Structure 1
Amino acid sequence: MKYLLHASSFFHFIALLMILMFNKMEMAIEKGMQYKADFTKSIYGIEGDFVATIQNLFHNDILTIVCSYFYVIIFPSIMITSIAIYTYQKNHKLFYAVCYALMFNYMIAIPFYLFFPVNEVWFFHPKVDLLILDVFPTFEQDYRPLSGLDNCFPSLHTSISISMAVIAVKSRNTFWKIFVPCSAAFIIFTIFYLGIHWLSDMCAGVVLGVVAARMGLRIAEGRLILGERALLKRPVKNNEY
């Protein structure tokens, strides 16, 4: 049984890495497309100065540092640590749920990035600055190859954070089930404060994150039930365990 679980976990992890690579491939595909739409102006027409108001209202040097570190470091750390914790706890359901949820997030978001491009707020709005440059001056050179300037709708920072939070509350780790949802809420604030995402991006990201997490949990649970039934139907060798 344990060998089957280890092999399955390994293949799920590899599949997850392949899905993450698609985000980079999407940028190459987009460059070769003749479809050149831009929905940024329409989004701005609906939202107006919402992000500019948030940034100007809360602007503070210390907050800029904290938000920047949450956006660049804490966000990916939560994904990696979630996988590590659920693997260490041998919580196969939550491990599979994280893998499936991340896959769904990217698979659903990438078509939007291709056919519903929306530029980041700071790039379009004259009253909004990319504050993350105050902390990470080379952010554009380092980060931009991983995410296109018009890959805004939906916000993956929002959707993945929400997915991790929904799954984390199912964890046996008390600290983790509190820390991840709180971090997700703060990361959502950072996408506005740093001048990156629109309110529409966040709303779509919340919906995507919840749906992806629930689908991931349901598939993971069903998969484990089917696996247990399959094991009950086949003969067990003495040295298998």
Structure 2
Amino acid sequence: MCLLLIMGLNKFELRLEAALPVPADLTRTLAGWEGSWQGALQRALESPALTFVCAFFYLVVFQGFMVASLIVYARAGNDRLYYALCAALLLNYLIAVPFYLFVPVREAWSAATDVRFLMLDVFPSFETQYRRLSGLDNCFPSLHTSISVTMALLALRSGNRRWAIFGVANAVVILFSIFYLGIHWATDMFAGLVLATVVVAVGLKVGAWADRPSLRRKRRPRRKEEFKQLAPSRLTDT
């Protein structure tokens, strides 16, 4: 349900953005004080293998880890982190959408001639298949930054050492990838870090509220009844 709400919100934002008058574009402002340092980073480190790893994490691992986090916390019975993550993901989008609508910032490669969009080297069909899910001017704040850091901060609280390590590693690779691939500005990243800090704090409070003993007792009988309903059919099938 959480992911469906996010997808619906994302689609609504893109449609609303197309219907609204075009506000002032702040891309030149960011490019003015940051320059095009992403191009220098690309020229120093570019390789087909690194480009593939960064693109794979940006498109596949990022979303896969999001879904896997919900499954891991649900299966572990960790209601606090499960609801904290759901609330944090929704808050990330709810807070970011107004910026995308009224403070548009275009991706770095589209504003600086010496910055390449390396994503196309790995996924040539990116602009036709993925772009409708993420507008060209939806840069500030960086949701890849805020969501990956959100997931890492919550993974550190899971008590699962391997999960926490992977969550932090995923966030580090994503933070590097948004610059290496030529997508984001440093300003986007810092705004994403602030956003992640805020939504995690709120999400943990929501998770603590949802994990109250009174609510846990209400959920347990429901699970027992569901199991009883499933049991006869399993015996019949056997």
* TM value normalised by structure 2: 0.88
Say which of 54, 74, 79 aligns to 2:61. 74
Measured after TM superposition, the shift of residue 180 of structure 1 is 0.5
Name the counterpart of 1:97.
84
Name the counterpart of 1:9.
none
Alignment length (residue pairs): 223
Name the counterpart of 1:179.
166
Name the counterpart of 1:117.
104
C-alpha contact 1:93 1:224 (8 A) present in aligned 2: yes
Task: Give, in whole Å, the separation in 2 of the partners of 1:230 and 1:222.
Answer: 9
Task: Give, in whole Å, the separation in 2 of the partners of 1:230 and 1:171.
Answer: 20
Name the counterpart of 1:214.
201
Task: Give, in whole Å, the separation in 2 of the partners of 1:132 and 1:231.
Answer: 45
After superposition, residues 91-240 of structure 1 pair within 5 angstroms as 91-225=78-212, 228-229=213-214
Give the match's secondary structure for 2:159: coil
C-alpha contact 2:79 2:210 (8 A) present in aligned 1: no
Which amino acid is 2:148 matched to? S
Gaps (5+ residues) in structure 2? 228-238
After superposition, residues 31-42 of structure 1 pair within 5 angstroms as 31-42=18-29
Give the match's secondary structure for 1:110: helix
Measured after TM superposition, the shift of residue 35 of structure 1 is 3.6
Measured after TM superposition, the shift of residue 50 of structure 1 is 2.1
CA RMSD of aligned residues (A): 2.0
Measured after TM superposition, the shift of residue 36 of structure 1 is 2.8
Measured after TM superposition, the shift of residue 33 of structure 1 is 0.7
Which amino acid is 2:151 matched to? M
Name the counterpart of 2:45.
58
Task: Give, in whole Å, the separation in 2 of the partners of 1:62 and 1:163.
Answer: 27
Measured after TM superposition, the shift of residue 214 of structure 1 is 1.7
Gaps (5+ residues) in structure 1? 1-13
Task: Give, in whole Å, the separation in 1 of the partners of 2:47 and 2:214.
Answer: 57
Measured after TM superposition, the shift of residue 229 of structure 1 is 4.1
Give the match's secondary structure for 1:208: helix
C-alpha contact 1:51 1:199 (8 A) present in aligned 2: no
Task: Give, in whole Å, the separation in 2 of the partners of 1:49 and 1:28.
Answer: 30
Find out whether 1:26 has 2:51 as its counterpart.
Answer: no
Q: Deviations over 1:13-72 (max 9, x none)?
A: x24422331111111101111143210000001101222222222111110111111111
Task: Give, in whole Å, the separation in 1 of the partners of 2:84 and 2:22.
Answer: 35
Give the match's secondary structure for 1:130: coil
Give the match's secondary structure for 1:151: coil
* CA shift in 2, pair 1:15/1:176, >3 Å: closer
